[in-house]
Amino acid sequence: MKIAVAGAGVMGSGIALCSIQAGYETLLFDLNAQAVDKGKAYIENELNKAVSKGKLAADAVGGILQKLTCTTHIKDLQADLIIEAVVEKLDIKQSLFAELEAINGPKTILATNTSSIPITQIARGLSRPERLVGIHFFNPAHLMKLVEIISGAVTDSQVAQQSFDWAVSLGKKAVYAADAPGFIVNRVARHYYVEGLKVLEEQVASMEAIDRLCEASGFKMGPFRLMDLIGVDTNYSVTSSMYELFGYDAKFRPSRIQKQKVDAGHHGRKSGQGFYTYEK
């Protein structure tokens, strides 16, 4: 089974890393050559981290990396299962899948890693919408165990089952979720970020205090440290998407503080600056 990942950002690179570690021939694609190089470097770095922590034998790294191929040519994106991990914009995802459908056969599974957009919406306009499924990983993809499998209104049940089985073969805990905005985790977790930002906006407490209190309550990371890990821009994009999809319900309103961070290019750990400052 050949796997392809469209989008070489942190999320796409993490998915590709999961795939090659499980022994699958995997193609990592991005139109931006710099993004591809950065994605490959991220994968190599994470494997070396695993070696330094004693979780992976040093002599296994070379064999794992041989499973990875990188490209900037979309025509190369031909595989048994193709997962997109591109920007959270409906029109961009629809355009990408229309192109992928045109260069792949009728048995190819097309999967989206969308965090919030309903699968049925993304599949609209495709010739074979029954071949589209949601396979939603969580960041960092190679460490987080949960994967949501989401069927759209016409997704073939066998496509969903094959996707579920593939996720399990990666060592993941796969669960089926209904096709609704945010699915399970992002719908529930959205308010962890939104309410944290509201508390900061209202000057009830500093972000450091909010993080410390949440962590003292049992959360592994406070909302601001977690947004920096996920990507402030990614997190803001998902919140904006859910705000729209839920009919501009005030409880999903994006924060002006987060918007300012995005506008300033303070995207979190990946940029060296988010709510906190990091060494690059």
Q: Among residues 116, 136, 139, 237, which one is catalytic?
A: 136
- How many C-beta atoms surround the C-beta of residue 4 within 10 A? 26
How do beta strands 132-136 and 68-71 pair?
Answer: unpaired
d(CA 234, CA 264): 14
142 among known catalytic residues: no
Of 271, 9, 6, residue with least CA distance to 139: 9
Q: Is the distance from CB of 136 to CB of 178 less than 8 angstroms? A: no
Residues 6+ positions from 271 with CB-CB distance below 8 Å: 265, 280
Q: Among residues 13, 115, 151, 237, which one is catalytic?
A: 115
104 among known catalytic residues: no
148 among known catalytic residues: yes
| Phi, psi torsion values for 170, nearest 5 degrees | -85, -5
Is the torsion defined by CA of 177, 190, 9, 11 positive or negative?
negative
Q: Among residues 151, 163, 186, 235, which one is catalytic?
A: 186
**End-to-end alpha carbon distance in the chain:** 36
115 among known catalytic residues: yes
Alpha helices, DSSP H only, in 60-132?
61-65, 90-103, 119-123
Q: Among residues 148, 235, 237, 266, which one is catalytic?
A: 148
Q: Is the distance from CB of 68 to CB of 3 less than 8 angstroms? A: no
d(CA 16, CA 81): 12
Cα distances (angstroms) measured from residue 147 to each of 18, 34, 116, 151, 185 = 12, 28, 14, 13, 10
Known catalytic residues?
115, 136, 148, 186
